[in-house]
């Protein structure tokens, strides 16, 4: 599978041994301090797996989550990660990250665990992602938010009660109301 250097040290494996395995072609370096077996097939979403492995407390959010759920035409140039407010900034490396710090309540709400090629990845639910996008509309762009909400409605798998619950947690329910009314009436 995938192994972080910190996990290897806890298992009693010296980092030098990891580098020897990498040089022998048994392990492949995915980024700073993250390795995988070279014989493994490629991932469908390699950046999400790598970001989750690099930052265990991180949750995939915003445009990265919209892209995973196929609610946007935007191609994320970063992996968008939600962190608890008390976390520190992760060190730079691959994949490029864009971090957002959340309050305890907003961070813990709506976390789901998906499987990407057998690896667990924490990601926010569709409704929580939409509420977060509305909250961070100044950072990601209102056009992205509107496109995602329209696509969410068009796909027909809507749960407006859940969406409003998350909008309340993110304190954007008054902004969401007229947008949803407009989309529904079209």
Helix (H, G, I), strand (E, B) or coil at 33: coil
Domain segments of the chain as ranges? 1-40, 46-185
Q: Taking all residues of the chain, what is their mean pLDDT, rounded to a whole number? A: 89
Share of the chain above pLDDT 70, in %: 95
Q: Which of helix, strand or coil describes residue 74?
A: coil
If pLDDT is split at 50, 70 and 90, which confidence band does 44 have? low
Return the CATH fold of 46-185.
Beta Polymerase; domain 2 (3.30.460)
* Residue 29 scores a pLDDT above 70: yes
d(CA 55, CA 57): 6
In this structure, how many other beta carbons lie within 10 angstroms of the beta carbon of residue 99? 17
Give residue for tokens 């390795």.
35
Q: How confident is the model at residue 72 (pLDDT cuts 50, 70, 90)?
A: very high
Residue 137 reports pLDDT greater than 90: yes
43: pLDDT strictly greater than 80: no
Residue 69 neighbours by CB under 8 Å, 6+ apart: 126, 129
- Band of pLDDT at residue 126, cut at 50, 70 and 90: very high
Residue 2 pLDDT more than 80?
no
**Whole-structure pTM value:** 0.79
CA distance 29 to 127: 35
Q: CA torsion sign, 22 to 25 to 30 to 35?
A: negative
Digit-coded pLDDT (tens) for 84-94: 999 988 776 77
- Model confidence at 65, pLDDT cuts 50, 70, 90, reads very high
Is pLDDT above 80 for 21?
Answer: yes
Going by C-alpha positions, the residue among 103, 96, 97, 157 that lies closest to residue 132 is 103
More confident residue, 32 or 83: 83
Q: List C-alpha distances in Å: 70 to 6, 42, 75, 82.
A: 34, 21, 11, 19
Phi first, then psi, for residue 112 (nearest 5°) are -125, 155
């Amino acid at each position: 599978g995938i192994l972080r250097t910190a996990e290897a040290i806890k298992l009693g494996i010296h980092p030098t041994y990891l580098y020897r395995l990498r040089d022998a072609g048994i392990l492949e370096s995915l980024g700073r301090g993250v390795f995988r077996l070279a014989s493994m097939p490629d991932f469908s979403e390699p950046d999400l797996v790598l970001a989750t492995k690099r930052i265990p407390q991180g949750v995939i959010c915003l445009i990265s989550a919209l892209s995973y759920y196929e609610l946007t035409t935007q191609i994320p140039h970063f992996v968008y990660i939600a962190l608890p407010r008390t976390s520190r900034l992760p060190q730079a490396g691959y994949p490029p990250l864009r971090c957002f710090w959340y309050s305890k309540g907003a961070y813990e709400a709506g976390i789901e665990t998906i499987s990407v090629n057998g690896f667990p990845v924490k990601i926010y639910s569709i409704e929580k992602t939409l509420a977060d996008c509305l909250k961070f509309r100044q950072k990601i762009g209102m056009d992205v938010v509107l496109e995602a909400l329209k696509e969410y409605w068009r796909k027909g798998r809507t749960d407006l009660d859940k969406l409003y619950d998350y909008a309340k947690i993110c304190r954007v329910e008054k902004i969401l109301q007229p947008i949803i009314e407009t989309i529904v009436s079209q």
